[in-house]
Amino acid sequence: MAVVIAVSIYAFADVAVDSDIKHSLSNDVRQNMRYFNYTDGKLEIQDEFVFQEDSVYFLILGENGEALAGGYPKQFTKIPGIELVTKKVTVNGEEYFVRDVRKNTTGHMQIYVRGVVRKEDVYSKYRTLTYLSYLIVFVIYIVSLLVGTVFAMRLSASIKDMMRTADTIGREHDISGRMEYMGRYRELKVLAQANNRMLERMEQQFLQQEQFTSDVAHELRTPVAVVLAQCEYAQGHLDNREEVEMAFDVIERQSQKIHSIISKLLYLSRLEQGKTKLDLEETDLVDIVEAVCEDEEEKADGRVKIKMHLCPAVAMTDINLMSIAIQNIITNAIKYNGDGLVIDVATGQKGERVFVSVQDYGRGMSDEEQSHIFERFYKSDKSRNSEGFGIGLAITKKILEINQGTIEVESSPGHGSMFTLFLPANNTCKIE
């Protein structure tokens, strides 16, 4: 870069110097013209007229180019013709600049003022500026090189630290490590933060995967153990038909439980992977709620009473998926509601969203329990032997997400819980 700049300075400096010399010479000649007159064949030169100033020679010429006053430099032996421009001529191997300017006079004779200067005589001061430019370029280059080296070293050190961290994470399979950067370079800071966010997501996914594997194993271990035990029991009582039939009944129930767990896990997996195709249509959620509530009351066989507070709530949604979501929160409320207590179910609209809310009056949940309630296999009563698998609410949340909706929960210990499903409104009566 420095070489390119130096060559550029050399190329443009000569042009700039020539231009400046021509401009200065022209101004000096015009300045001198004011100090003489030629009237009626008589030349009158004032004292202010300068015949030589520094290295510049001034002459007064007649119309044929003969010198009426003043003289040329000693080495200037070739006299050029009169041209009203600034020109460069070479005499005896030396370059000269010559400038002719015509003087307005009375009479028929043309009078001119000529300025002559040897380029080498005035070029020395320009050469000093050129050398100074070279020096400045060199200094700038050295400073830039030093600054660039320091910058590169700091940048390289920071990148090497990040590479070592990444290499350590890869070799030790420990994704809990994070990249640290305390420097001033915003780009590296953003890169470190982006990598840390990625590592955090990976760590969360690995932890969830480990927890998921543990939970699946725990949920399946009990029914599988029961099935094996009943098989052994049946083999020992083959001569007793009644005992064998009881064993097979237990095996069937446990097999259905295993099948239900696997089916729900596969269904949740399809939802999370986006393999479930949505069939959106205008849906009145009231119809779904009424059908689910009637079905659940019949299953409960009088153990629970569902009170409905319904207002038309229409949304564009997948009927089958939304039926599953509504059924999940209603069955969840029945499961955790106190015996003989009423469950309140409401539909309507708030703002630009329609809703389905289900209120139970059971044991309720703490803030800690609410933060985990939508995780797979989580049970707020901490009992693995309780009814249900802890998958329904996870499925419900995912169904709401793919239908552009949300699910919210309000609960406090001893005062029950209320789950509310929200969907974008389509065409419904508005409930305040």
* Domains of the chain by residue range: 2-127, 186-272, 280-424
Burial 103-116 (b: 16+ CB within 10 A, else e): bebeeeeebbbbbb
Residue 114 contacts residue 29 (beta carbons within 8 Å): yes
Q: What is the pTM of this model?
A: 0.48
Q: What is the DSSP letter of 380?
A: T
Which percentage of the chain shows pLDDT scores above 70? 82
Write the DSSP symbol of residue 239. Answer: T
What per-residue confidence (pLDDT) applies to 58?
93
Q: Is 44 left (phi over 0), alpha (psi -120 to 50) or beta?
A: beta
Cα separation values, 143 from 2, 148, 197, Å: 12, 8, 38
* Topology classification of domain 186-272: Helix Hairpins (1.10.287)
- Residue 100: exposed, middle, or buried by beta-carbon count in 10 A (0-12, 13-18, 19+)? buried
How many Å from the N-terminal Cα to the C-terminal Cα in the chain?
73
144-153 burial, b at 16+ Cβ within 10 Å, e below that, comes to eeeeeeeeee
**Does the structure show a pLDDT above 50 at 348?**
yes
Q: Which helix (H) or strand (E) holds 408?
A: strand 406-411
Q: Is the dihedral of CA 271, 274, 275, 281 positive or negative?
A: positive
CATH value of 2-127 in 3.40.720, 3.40.50, 3.90.550, 3.30.450: 3.30.450
Q: Would you state the pLDDT for residue 432? A: 37
Burial (0-12, 13-18, 19+ Cβ within 10 Å), 298: exposed
Residue 172: its H or E element: helix 119-172
Q: Which residue has the higher pLDDT, 162 or 282?
A: 282
| pLDDT at residue 430 in the model | 42
Instruction: Give pLDDT, residue 385.
Output: 42
Instruction: Using alpha carbons, select from 324, 329, 325, 353 the residue that is nearest to residue 343.
Output: 329
Sorting pLDDT into bands at 50, 70 and 90, what band is 264? low
- Are 282 and 426 spatial neighbours (Cβ–Cβ below 8 Å)? yes
Could you tell me the pLDDT band of residue 142, with boundaries at 50, 70 and 90?
confident
Name which of 340, 359, 356 is nearest 348 in CA terms.
Answer: 356
What is the average per-residue pLDDT within 56-69?
88
Q: If you average pLDDT over residues 383-390, what whole number do you get?
A: 51
Per the prediction, the chain carries an average pLDDT of: 80
Contact of 80 with 98, CB cutoff 8 Å? yes
Report strand pairing: 280-284 vs 314-318: antiparallel
Q: Does domain 280-424 have CATH number 2.40.10.10?
A: no
The residue ranking higher by pLDDT, 54 or 56, is 56
CA–CA distance, 106 with 42 (Å, rounded to integer):
10
Task: Measure CA 215 to chain center.
Answer: 37
85 Cβ neighbours under 8 A, 6+ residues apart: 99, 100
More confidently predicted of 140 and 267: 140
CA angle 97, 102, 108 (to 5 degrees): 145
